[in-house]
Structure 1
């Protein structure tokens, strides 16, 4: 479990940590994640220095492999992590929300159940077919809650569960991401990562949280509005928790790809277990008021404007298609999308006043924003879209949502054409 590793580095005073995981990628993939002694993922120049050391090895026979000096950890570290999760919740908060949970064939089940039991929440109803680790991920094409079809079994379990649960919660296989779905009254709907990010931020503000709120540039600008209204510091970073976790004075950080850091002093990375605890606490608070997460999202839209986000994500077999699309956009940047003029076009390879260089493009439009970048972990070109619609009152929300959907659909179409994808 990735968050337990990130916790253990700081807890044990280790110099570094390594995790081998496919995370949310296909079963044939593998991943190698490295953390430094501060408990955060590596950033330049450490990544290049490690790669150089690897390249310098000419034979495995030359690699020193000591037979002594190893210590295999027991469950003491996990127990310390679970004890730390208690601090995420308010001591006096209600614990009434009922959940359906899927571990997505990963390692999250036992830790999440233990954390929920410690907190006093009702025991989650498990999606049995996905509850235990299975590296073949037999029930999903991709073990990522964001992918189409990945949540089908969880929704079926929720529909069959009596009484009706308040939430569906999913972790990805290494349990660092947290997906949340709610009942709309007619069926279940996945909340976008930006929606959960705003909900957790609003909950922490109401609880009096102090410190910096941070997010990556591809996430919704609503977090900045919430922080500004609460007179809290706010920062944007490059994509990835390796950057978010390094924000000075961080109190809360999130990324639209279902990643939330709600206890940065304990885990300097996204953590799907503590995020699940906090969103279930919020659902419990609202349940006591006969309200839901959707009601709070409506309130935030009226208070700050409707911030609607979407993504155009293109998976490719040939990586040159991604390079071609980025080159096409650089050589012929769009001057308008969905009829909205592009007021600013930024090539992020040059960096900005607040961001180091990265392979990405950012377009600012009148009432909208688009960021295009190659995925850092998958063979995808990812385009992040946001439109902001002013809302006067709750009665205006249906019209605002219809307008937002129309704009996002048009931006997708025009951007796809401009990029040649």
Structure 2
């Protein structure tokens, strides 16, 4: 924990915007350097112009690659593009428009010339494809999500409205890097003024906000006069919350509507960086302090920069652990959505809490456990076979009340409003309901730690098979399962998960650092969790050595 974690950023913590923007335009990446190539992670390409990892050349090449990919897939309709308040989002958005117009792609931009949350783009893509015919529209969101202010991000959402799958992102990244290697030969662009004039306006905000009653019981929120404090953390949802309050008659206040691409108003995260992580107690210190004062709100919420994550603060419990809130949301939704069929499943990533497994079993529902990455929930959300999909990193979405798709990308606004619906419908806070789940199912201790690993060790970890694990016990209990593929969809998890009756751990290589991540949980207390974590290192080391 950084000594100033949770305290307001100082001038020396802030990014130099002039240097950042100059580097975007002036620095030419070296495609022979792996750190300067286009790399799509679970949420698009991210990096900083100061590191030659997110520069104009990257966006020119990536946009051209997306144009060619969508054409190869037969996508000929409009492309919807949104952006968040990160400093690099504006120039990258402009660059993308130049390439899209240069390739005669019909582009829809925000009619208010404002910021656009990721869920609003997903919602709009799905809406247009219902109205105009499936597969005709897709989207780009220019955002690095909760990353620090020095970073930029660029992600593609195909016609299903959710994050692009690995097959698409691999093809896009390969073509983008080929274009970089060839000096951008093959990239078509026009001047920005011409590109902006060719773009058409789309009211993302109204399309999204006016449709919220199809997914939420806002009448329960109004009826019980739930007092809500919403903090956009300077992100893309900043204009949405006021409109939600006004259009739906809610007692909702925007706690802070400041927008600053340096995020100078933010407390430092646990590692001392500015990071708009609404699941972090350090980053959410301002809102937590507000809730610890006079009881102004029944529910307070936060969102990250592109509003695909949620943070829930209650007067009685502070900031909820994301795993805890996911369990409560699942328990509530599957008890209060009568139009969801009995066969509708619950989706979770394999590093999310096993409290969810116990809640789902008690509900008599089917559990769909998938690898890390929201893209794995897209098919089920799209066809209505998965009612809820959630990640331990505070990203989730769920169906409309009639059992049809709402969004196929993470929706932090939706999950934040659900907390107020829960309060209005039950008279209890989500944290109180989690205490009830603990009384019924046990009290899990959960943590994530890192362990050192070389690049070669990380590669071997990603290729392990269950037979590579020779251990028969973990922290005093027999091992009941060793997984290298997710039970929900059979996809490789890129690592290892080991389970016992009361505990588990999962080990996955980091994509950016020379470490691997150990996620672990125990229903036998924190001392047992520590034992699980210690033995997990030994299990992984033996598997890698074998």
**Coarse TM-score class (shorter-chain normalised):** 0.7 to 0.9
Partner of 2:322: 193
- Report the alpha carbon displacement of residue 91 of structure 1 after superposing the two structures with TM: 5.7
Give, in whole Å, the separation in 2 of the partners of 1:269 and 1:69.
27
Matched, 1:342 2:469: no
Change (3 A) 1:384 1:296: same
> Any conservation in 1 of the 2:346–2:389 contact (CA below 8 Å)?
yes
> Any conservation in 2 of the 1:220–1:307 contact (CA below 8 Å)?
no
Give, in whole Å, the separation in 2 of the partners of 1:201 and 1:5.
24
Partner of 1:393: none
SS of the residue corresponding to residue 266 of structure 1 reads coil
Map 1:61-80; keep pairs closer than 5 Å: 61-65=185-189, 67=194, 71-74=198-201, 76-80=203-207
Matched, 1:202 2:331: yes
- Residue among 272, 277, 289 paired with 1:144: 277
Partner of 1:313: 449
Partner of 1:174: 306
- Report the alpha carbon displacement of residue 87 of structure 1 after superposing the two structures with TM: 1.4
> Any conservation in 1 of the 2:458–2:515 contact (CA below 8 Å)?
no
The C-alpha deviation readout for 1:253-291, integer Å capped at 9, x for no partner, is 11111012023712111101111111111022233xxx3
Partner of 2:434: 297
Change (3 A) 1:83 1:154: same
- Residue among 422, 443, 446 paired with 1:282: 422
- Report the alpha carbon displacement of residue 214 of structure 1 after superposing the two structures with TM: 1.2
Matched, 1:93 2:220: yes
The C-alpha deviation readout for 1:373-402, integer Å capped at 9, x for no partner, is 1345788633222334xxxxxxxxxxxxxx
- Report the alpha carbon displacement of residue 319 of structure 1 after superposing the two structures with TM: 6.8
* Number of residue equivalences: 392
Give, in whole Å, the separation in 1 of the partners of 2:535 and 2:202.
53
Change (3 A) 1:353 1:171: closer
Task: Mark the runs of 5 or more structure 1 residues left unpaired by the alignment.
Answer: 389-402
- The root-mean-square deviation of aligned C-alpha atoms, in Å, is 3.1
> Any conservation in 2 of the 1:218–1:384 contact (CA below 8 Å)?
yes
Partner of 2:208: 81
Give, in whole Å, the separation in 1 of the partners of 2:396 and 2:416.
9
Larger mean Cα displacement after TM superposition, 365-374 or 83-92: 83-92
Partner of 2:120: 4
The C-alpha deviation readout for 1:81-114, integer Å capped at 9, x for no partner, is 1111121222642432223332223122221232
Partner of 1:132: 258
Change (3 A) 1:189 1:415: farther
SS of the residue corresponding to residue 415 of structure 1 reads helix
Q: Which runs of 4+ in 1 moved over 6 A?
A: 327-333, 377-380
Give, in whole Å, the separation in 2 of the partners of 1:113 and 1:333.
56
The C-alpha deviation readout for 1:131-181, integer Å capped at 9, x for no partner, is 333332332322212345111111122223x33422231111111100112
Give, in whole Å, the separation in 2 of the partners of 1:261 and 1:100.
21
Give, in whole Å, the separation in 2 of the partners of 1:256 and 1:121.
29
The structure that has the greater radius of gyration is: 2
Matched, 1:374 2:526: no
Give, in whole Å, the separation in 1 of the partners of 2:487 and 2:351.
15
- Residue among 271, 274, 295 paired with 2:411: 271
TM-score w.r.t. structure 2 length? 0.64
Partner of 2:153: 31
- Residue among 286, 289, 310 paired with 1:156: 289
Partner of 1:253: 389
TM-score w.r.t. structure 1 length? 0.82
Partner of 2:93: none
Give, in whole Å, the separation in 1 of the partners of 2:127 and 2:331.
29
The C-alpha deviation readout for 1:277-321, integer Å capped at 9, x for no partner, is 11111022233xxx3323322322344x125252223398x9749
- Residue among 111, 115, 121 paired with 2:250: 121
Matched, 1:59 2:183: yes
Change (3 A) 1:321 1:405: farther
Matched, 1:106 2:239: no
The C-alpha deviation readout for 1:357-382, integer Å capped at 9, x for no partner, is 23111011231111111345788633
Give, in whole Å, the separation in 2 of the partners of 1:39 and 1:328.
30
Change (3 A) 1:412 1:64: same
